[in-house]
């Protein structure tokens, strides 16, 4: 074993080619290539799928490479390695960051035990366009929600000590603005104002850097015409210099080479020079060396920049404890879920469900004595893992119908053979309607399969695929009460059938224990308490639609159809000229079908909020750390224990730039036993009341004046007026 050296000492002994080799994670090499790369001093490799193979690669790196430098071993552990937790968007719906932390802690334990020491997660791209398949990987449309869930995952993955056998290095991605792709079409151009960039897309990454995230991944898109993989302003000026990120910046797969496609690099060598000079530290793909030969001529790169990148990589390896111990105990390597991880996966999954409708208390199912029919592709499908799982992920253990059968021994649970997601089978609809007529209650389990979700999976339609909507209508026609369980990676358009549907439960893609968790909710063992982290549009024509929008100079105020006497287009309806010249659609009601922060429960709550202090505060006091407290009494006025999510929103009523009509700046999910009450206190401070100006040098400011504070359950709020007084002159 070579004597341990400091990163600086190792760097001093490295050649130019050896330095570049440390700055690459080659894209999915085969085992022979991986061995050769390790022998030649590669900095990082993707996980070779077993602890044994990982130890072999580490041994090759330590014992045969020029400086014996151990490897970073990366993998996309996005919502689990073997045990699969709910997708990140589903986790956001829990409005409980402990759900994300539980995923990250257990995922890190499984991953590190197998030799993975670096995950490319969390994704904290604020997502406002459900056509984009990757909305599933982030935490929805709000910057604050993405920030706090991203922080919870980073802390869960990294723990207090990266060298621990249960910690892995996290990676905040994709930096930055990838989710603003025009048309929701993956990899498409973005056009982002300074206001949006600073106040929407960058906020979660700033919080991630403050939380000590070990790495940040550059995104495929350009910002203001400069592709992020060559964007010095963002990668160096903002991320490293302004925010102090001292970890590594890694490319997305092929992102450096794609600078040629973007049209800003003449060739691969030029692309590598641009990327490393802009502040990228590790290339993902394998385009810095051809064999062992650098494709960037020595002397082209600033030596100080090159050395800085190498030191960042070596320091991360040092922090991970890899120089002391690069190997894992193969006998202790996880090979699949254990009882603890399955139990956590089941509990977190149930917390992610959102009840959007429940007329006449169709749900929960009665404990016994019911004839329950389950129809739809998801009656028996076990496709609940969602996007971004690896081939070795632990499959969903039981389907919805299997879980309900086990949970309701005193009832008769039957399932119709389910069509696939895309087939059209009118015969099946008729058969389902006939079977429904013989049932007491029908569960219509429909949605989109995991394959329609994730990277390169943008959709131009947000409707249910195949003839699932016809199936819902056929069941509605039977007259039997029914509930729709919607399994999806993204918000969907439900407007074509929601009025005929008595109950709707959104169950996302909930992972390995999805079937049992959904059964726990449908039977009332778990009372759903989730809220929507993304708006559900009425029509794909509304997209992008999000709650934290600006007012515009002509906000339409009246809902309902604003159709006017338009015989030319066949639209008729009330003529309301007060709203004619306002920001609206002629053929669609205002606002989303279901809004951000909305969700019901099997019980009912009353909220009563009040400020704990006078609602006037000096700007100097805020800057010094004063926080204003708002306490809410949450009363459970129903007959079932349940959770409520108290939410606090801020509105800046008069500012020097347009500000969102409201912004989430605090929330807390609280359990309240039936008939009892609990107190929740949420606070507001300097970081919640201000904004980044268009002048980057002026930075973040809070302007004195009037603010509206709203506290409520996501549907109704109490409002308070807060005055921030100017500094004493
Ligand atoms: C993909 C994704 C990125 C992922 C990387 C490695 O292209 O954009 O999120 O971490 O490749 O798998």
For residue range 407-430, list pLDDT tens digits in order: 999 999 999 977 678 878 888 899
**H or E element at residue 414:** strand 412-415
For the chain, report the end-to-end CA distance as a whole number of angstroms: 66
For residue range 194-225, list pLDDT tens digits in order: 999 999 999 999 999 999 999 999 999 999 99
CA 130 centroid distance within chain: 12
Is the minimum distance from the CB of 387 to ligand 1 under 6 angstroms?
Answer: no
Among 26, 29, 120, which is best to mutate for testing ligand 1, by the most ligand atoms less than 8 A from CB?
Answer: 120
Residue 578 banded pLDDT, cuts 50, 70, 90: low
Whole-prediction pTM value? 0.97
Is the minimum distance from the CB of 622 to ligand 1 under 6 angstroms?
Answer: no
On the question of pLDDT at 1 being above 80, the answer is no
Which residue's C-alpha comes closest to atom 10 of ligand 1?
120
How far does the centroid of ligand 1 lie from the alpha carbon of residue 61, in Å? 25
Task: For residues 679 and 73, give the distance between their C-alpha atoms in angstroms, rounded to a whole number.
Answer: 45
For residue range 67-115, list pLDDT tens digits in order: 999 999 999 999 999 999 999 999 999 999 999 999 999 999 999 999 9
pLDDT, average across residues 232-260? 98
Q: What ligand 1 atom has the least distance to the C-alpha of 137?
A: 9
Among 216, 253, 256, which is best to mutate for testing ligand 1, by the most ligand atoms less than 8 A from CB?
Answer: 253
For residue range 502-524, list pLDDT tens digits in order: 999 999 999 999 999 999 999 99
pLDDT, average across residues 479-491? 98
Task: Kindly report the average pLDDT of the chain as a whole number.
Answer: 95
Which residue's C-alpha comes closest to atom 3 of ligand 1?
252
CATH topology of domain 7-332: TIM Barrel (3.20.20)
Exposure string for 157-189, b = 16+ CB within 10 A, e = fewer? bbbeebeeeebbbbbbbbbbbbbbbeebbbeee
On the question of pLDDT at 577 being above 70, the answer is no
Which residues have CB under 8 Å from 596's CB, separation 6+?
Answer: 140, 141, 142, 531, 532, 533, 534, 535, 546, 547, 548, 664, 714
Which residues have CB under 8 Å from 440's CB, separation 6+?
Answer: 370, 371, 372, 480, 481
On the question of pLDDT at 382 being above 50, the answer is yes
On the question of pLDDT at 729 being above 80, the answer is no
- Look up the CATH architecture of domain 344-522: 3-Layer(aba) Sandwich (3.40)
How far does the centroid of ligand 1 lie from the alpha carbon of residue 252, in Å? 6
Q: Do the Cβ atoms of 429 and 471 come closer than 8 Å? A: yes
Q: What is the pLDDT of residue 562?
A: 43
Is the minimum distance from the CB of 579 to ligand 1 under 6 angstroms?
Answer: no
On the question of pLDDT at 642 being above 50, the answer is yes
Q: What are phi and psi of 218, to 5 degrees?
A: -70, 155
Residue 560 banded pLDDT, cuts 50, 70, 90: low
Are domains 344-522 and 605-725 of this chain identical in fold? Answer: no
On the question of pLDDT at 570 being above 80, the answer is no
pLDDT, average across residues 159-169? 98
Residue 565 banded pLDDT, cuts 50, 70, 90: very low
How far does the centroid of ligand 1 lie from the alpha carbon of residue 253, in Å? 6
How far does the centroid of ligand 1 lie from the alpha carbon of residue 269, in Å? 22
On the question of pLDDT at 536 being above 60, the answer is yes
Q: Do the Cβ atoms of 345 and 83 come closer than 8 Å? A: yes
| Burial zone of 144 (CB within 10 Å; 0-12 exposed, 13-18 middle, 19+ buried) | buried
Which residue's C-alpha comes closest to atom 8 of ligand 1?
252
Residue 49: C-alpha distances to residues 33, 122, 190, 288 (Å): 15, 21, 36, 25
Q: Do the Cβ atoms of 89 and 534 come closer than 8 Å? A: yes
Reply yes or no: is the peptide bond before residue 7 cis, omega within 30 of 0.
Answer: no
Which residue's C-alpha comes closest to atom 7 of ligand 1?
253
Q: Looking at domain 605-725, does it have CATH number 2.40.50.140?
A: no
For residue range 26-66, list pLDDT tens digits in order: 988 888 999 999 999 999 999 999 999 999 999 999 999 99
For residue range 646-700, list pLDDT tens digits in order: 999 999 999 999 999 999 999 999 999 999 999 999 999 999 999 999 886 789 9
Is the minimum distance from the CB of 76 to ligand 1 under 6 angstroms?
Answer: yes
On the question of pLDDT at 487 being above 90, the answer is yes
Helices within 242-398 (DSSP H only): 259-262, 268-278, 303-319, 339-351
Q: What ligand 1 atom has the least distance to the C-alpha of 171?
A: 10
Which residue's C-alpha comes closest to atom 11 of ligand 1?
253
Is 252 noted as a catalytic residue in this protein? yes
What sign does the dihedral 273-278-280-285 (CA atoms) show?
negative
Among 559, 567, 608, 615, CA closest to 717: 608
Q: Do the Cβ atoms of 92 and 145 come closer than 8 Å? A: yes
Least confident of 182-191, 574-583, 644-653, 683-692: 574-583
Show the tokens assigned to 653.
């009523």
Helices (H) and strands (E) in the chain, counts: 21, 28
Is the minimum distance from the CB of 229 to ligand 1 under 6 angstroms?
Answer: no
How far does the centroid of ligand 1 lie from the alpha carbon of residue 71, in Å? 19
Which residues have CB under 8 Å from 718's CB, separation 6+?
Answer: 607, 608, 609, 710, 711, 712
How far does the centroid of ligand 1 lie from the alpha carbon of residue 24, in Å? 15
> Long-range contact list for 561-570, CB < 8 A, 24+ apart?
561/587, 561/588, 561/589, 562/586, 563/587
Q: What is the pLDDT of residue 3?
A: 60
How far does the centroid of ligand 1 lie from the alpha carbon of residue 26, in Å? 13
Is the minimum distance from the CB of 346 to ligand 1 under 6 angstroms?
Answer: no
How far does the centroid of ligand 1 lie from the alpha carbon of residue 450, in Å? 17
Is the minimum distance from the CB of 281 to ligand 1 under 6 angstroms?
Answer: no
- 125, 129, 142, 252: the active-site residue: 252
Q: What is the pLDDT of residue 566?
A: 47
**What is the crossing angle of helices 426-437 and 468-478, to 10°?**
30
Show the tokens assigned to 34.
């991986």
Q: Do the Cβ atoms of 128 and 544 come closer than 8 Å? A: yes
Query: Residue ranges per domain, the chain?
Result: 7-332, 344-522, 552-590, 605-725
Q: What ligand 1 atom has the least distance to the C-alpha of 123?
A: 9
Q: What is the pLDDT of residue 586?
A: 84
Is the minimum distance from the CB of 120 to ligand 1 under 6 angstroms?
Answer: yes
Task: For residues 626 and 53, give the distance between their C-alpha atoms in angstroms, rounded to a whole number.
Answer: 54
| Burial zone of 1 (CB within 10 Å; 0-12 exposed, 13-18 middle, 19+ buried) | exposed
Least confident of 559-563, 617-621, 657-661: 559-563
Among 24, 73, 76, 188, which is best to mutate for testing ligand 1, by the most ligand atoms less than 8 A from CB?
Answer: 76
DSSP 8-state symbol, 3 = P
Task: For residues 442 and 218, give the distance between their C-alpha atoms in angstroms, rounded to a whole number.
Answer: 47
């Amino acid at each position: 074993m070579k004597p341990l050296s400091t990163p600086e000492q190792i760097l001093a002994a490295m050649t130019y080619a050896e330095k570049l080799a440390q700055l690459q994670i080659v894209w999915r090499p085969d085992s022979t290539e991986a061995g050769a790369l390790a022998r030649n001093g590669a900095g990082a490799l993707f996980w070779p799928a077993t602890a044994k193979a990982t130890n072999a690669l580490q041994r090759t790196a330590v014992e045969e490479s020029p400086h014996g430098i151990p490897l970073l071993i990366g993998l996309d552990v996005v919502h689990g390695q073997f045990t699969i937790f709910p997708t990140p968007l589903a986790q956001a719906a829990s409005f409980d960051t402990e759900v994300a932390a539980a995923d990250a802690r257990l995922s890190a334990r499984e991953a590190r035990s197998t030799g993975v020491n670096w995950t490319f997660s969390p994704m904290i791209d604020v997502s406002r366009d459900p056509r984009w398949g990757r909305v599933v990987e982030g935490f929805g449309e709000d910057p604050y929600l993405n920030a706090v869930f991203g922080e919870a995952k980073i802390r869960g993955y990294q723990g207090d000590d990266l060298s621990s056998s249960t910690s892995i290095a996290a990676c905040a991605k994709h930096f930055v603005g990838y989710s603003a792709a025009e048309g929701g079409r993956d990899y498409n151009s973005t056009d982002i104002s300074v206001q949006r960039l600073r106040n929407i897309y960058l906020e979660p990454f700033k919080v991630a850097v403050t939380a000590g995230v070990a790495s940040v991944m550059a995104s495929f898109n350009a910002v203001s015409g400069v592709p992020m993989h060559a964007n010095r302003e963002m990668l160096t000026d903002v991320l490293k210099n302004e925010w102090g990120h001292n970890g590594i910046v890694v490319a997305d797969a092929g992102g450096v080479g794609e600078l040629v496609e973007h049209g800003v690099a003449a060739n691969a060598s030029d692309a590598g020079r641009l990327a490393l000079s802009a502040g990228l530290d590790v290339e993902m793909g394998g385009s810095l060396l051809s064999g062992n030969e650098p494709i960037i001529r020595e002397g082209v790169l600033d030596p100080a920049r090159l050395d800085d990148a190498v030191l960042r990589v070596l320091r991360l390896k040092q922090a991970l404890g890899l120089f002391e111990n690069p190997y894992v105990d193969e006998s202790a390597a996880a090979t699949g879920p254990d009882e603890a991880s399955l139990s956590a996966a089941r509990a977190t999954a149930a917390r992610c469900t959102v009840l959007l409708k429940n007329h006449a208390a169709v749900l929960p199912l009665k404990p016994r004595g019911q004839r329950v029919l389950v129809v739809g592709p998801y009656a028996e499908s076990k496709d609940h893992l969602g996007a971004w799982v690896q081939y070795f992920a632990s499959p969903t253990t039981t389907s919805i119908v299997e879980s309900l059968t086990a949970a309701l021994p005193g009832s008769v649970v039957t399932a119709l053979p389910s069509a696939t997601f895309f087939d059209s089978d009118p015969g099946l609809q008729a058969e389902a309607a006939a079977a429904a007529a013989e049932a007491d209650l029908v569960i219509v389990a429909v949605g989109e399969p995991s394959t329609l979700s994730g990277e390169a999976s943008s959709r131009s339609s947000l409707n249910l695929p195949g003839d699932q909507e016809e199936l819902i209508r056929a069941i509605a026609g039977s007259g039997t009460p029914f509930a729709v369980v919607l399994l999806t990676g993204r918000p969907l358009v439900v407007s074509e059938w929601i009025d005929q549907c008595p109950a709707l439960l959104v169950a996302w893609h909930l992972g390995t224990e999805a079937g049992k968790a959904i059964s726990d909710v449908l039977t009332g063992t778990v009372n759903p308490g989730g809220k929507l982290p993304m708006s559900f549009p009425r029509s794909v024509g509304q997209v992008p639609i999000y709650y934290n929008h600006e007012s515009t100079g002509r906000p339409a105020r009246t809902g309902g159809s604003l159709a006017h006497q338009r015989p030319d287009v066949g639209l008729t309806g009330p003529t309301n000229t007060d709203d004619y010249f306002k920001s609206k659609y002629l053929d669609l009601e205002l606002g989303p079908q279901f809004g951000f922060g909305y969700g019901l429960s099997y019980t009912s709550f009353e909220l009563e909020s009040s400020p704990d202090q006078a609602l006037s505060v000096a700007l100097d006091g805020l800057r010094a750390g004063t926080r204003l407290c708002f306490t809410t009494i949450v009363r459970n006025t129903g007959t079932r224990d349940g959770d409520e999510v108290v939410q606090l929103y801020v509105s800046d009523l008069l500012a020097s730039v347009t500000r969102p009509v409201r912004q989430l700046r605090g929330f807390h999910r609280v359990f309240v036993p039936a008939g009892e009450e609990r107190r929740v206190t949420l606070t507001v401070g300097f970081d919640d009341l201000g904004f980044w100006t268009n002048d980057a040098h002026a930075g973040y400011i809070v302007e004195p004046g009037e603010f509206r504070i709203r506290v409520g359950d996501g549907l109704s709020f109490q409002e308070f007026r807060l005055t921030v007084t100017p500094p004493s002159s």
